[in-house]
Structure 1
């Protein structure tokens, strides 16, 4: 049981919602490692995309700050 709780906590810490965790555990119960890995990979990709989106937003703000300083608003 401790292993299951550790997995659940790890998934929560990784930002997985309850539906994701339920699906993952269902796959665990059926020993479907391939689908578990696919599910984890998809979530990882989603997190990386969020990082890229955040970088783009930061770049936009940096550009606006640069323009404002240059024009002495």
Structure 2
């Protein structure tokens, strides 16, 4: 399967394929008549890359993770650590956003309350 075919069939941006090729992780990819040819294992790896990208891994971390994955089971602990770190960081971000929402809701509540109090203290204001 060519790069264009893989990109279209699996809905993988061409930039991801270019990056994948630049990392030298394409042992199974063969360059035939000037075009890269992808097999099923490459597509599985690309799926993993896209998953890592979707969960917020940087390109550098994706490359590290993929190199570890290709080394085999002996790197499982390091890959698990990377995933656990990302999970922890994501939870920290979620909690930070929750605090932001609480503050936003408080400010909105306070403004609405002030508006109601102002309307009650000035009966000539239409409600």
The two structures share one fold, judged by TM-score above 0.5: yes
Alignment of 1:50-65 (within 5 A): 50-65=93-108
1:68 corresponds to which residue?
111
2:44 corresponds to which residue?
3
Is 1:40 paired with 2:83? yes
Larger strand percent? 2
* In structure 1, C-alpha distance between the alignment counterparts of 2:43 and 2:113, rounded to whole Å: 58
**Aligned CA-pair RMSD:** 1.2
2:18 corresponds to which residue?
none
Say how many residue pairs are matched: 73
SS at match of 1:16: coil
Q: CA deviation at 1:13?
A: 1.2
1:3-38 deviation line (CA, Å, top 9, x unaligned): 111110111111111011011012112220110011
TM-score (ref. length: structure 2): 0.54
* In structure 2, C-alpha distance between the alignment counterparts of 1:23 and 1:56, rounded to whole Å: 33
2:69 corresponds to which residue?
28
Task: Point out where structure 1 has 5 or more consecutive residues left out of the alignment.
Answer: none
* In structure 1, C-alpha distance between the alignment counterparts of 2:84 and 2:104, rounded to whole Å: 30
1:16 corresponds to which residue?
57
